[in-house]
Amino acid sequence: MAIAREVASITKLGVEVAILVGGGNIFCGASWAGCSGLDRSSADCIGMLATVMNSIFLQATMGSIGIPTRVQTAFRMSEVAEPYIRRRAVKHLEKGRVVIFAAGPGSPQPFDVQKVSKYSKLNAEVVLKVTNVDGLYDADPRHNPNARLLETVSYHEVTARDLSVMDMTAITLCQENNISRCCV
């Protein structure tokens, strides 16, 4: 509900919002690959299905407070979501609907790369990444009590300092696609 309220406040400002939902709270493919004979590809597919579960939950939560949404998924699941079609996603955004993406690109890729790739196709100006820390640090504050909060950082600094903000391929995609801000 907290996420739904935050998104509602943003959409009231006229901002178009698209969300790529993860599923690691239900199933993280990387953690399960190799267990009980589960290969990486199968584990990643299960993880992508977990993103669909979270997306439907988020959609229901947003709907309960009056936020119009559409879930689009890379897998055919017509009973619960519409297929991802870029032009349709853009039309939903233009009509003030929040678009929730599930199942990533439909093939295993690092989550950050999926997110930036999807948003760059929608001409996103900003990519936000929700994490379990309150900002961007020069080290992991959960493991290093001396970690310093960084107010701003350039793409060059992220790569030069090897900051674990997100996958470096995703950082490069942000830079190449002129996504001016990438916020954590």
Domain of 11, CATH number, reads: 3.40.1160.10
What pLDDT is attached to residue 4?
93
Based on the fold, state whether residues 6 and 90 are members of the same structural domain: yes
What pLDDT is attached to residue 9?
93
Tokens of 181: 């801000």
Distance CA 49, CA 55 (A): 10
Is pLDDT above 80 for 71? Answer: yes
Based on the fold, state whether residues 8 and 66 are members of the same structural domain: yes
Does residue 148 lie in a domain region?
Answer: yes
Positions of E strands within 21-169:
69-73, 82-83, 98-102, 126-128
Based on the fold, state whether residues 66 and 2 are members of the same structural domain: yes
Is pLDDT above 80 for 104? Answer: no
Based on the fold, state whether residues 92 and 183 are members of the same structural domain: no
Put simply, whether the predicted model's pTM sits higher than 0.85 gets the answer no
Taking a C-beta distance cutoff of 8 angstroms, is the pair 74, 103 a contact?
A: yes
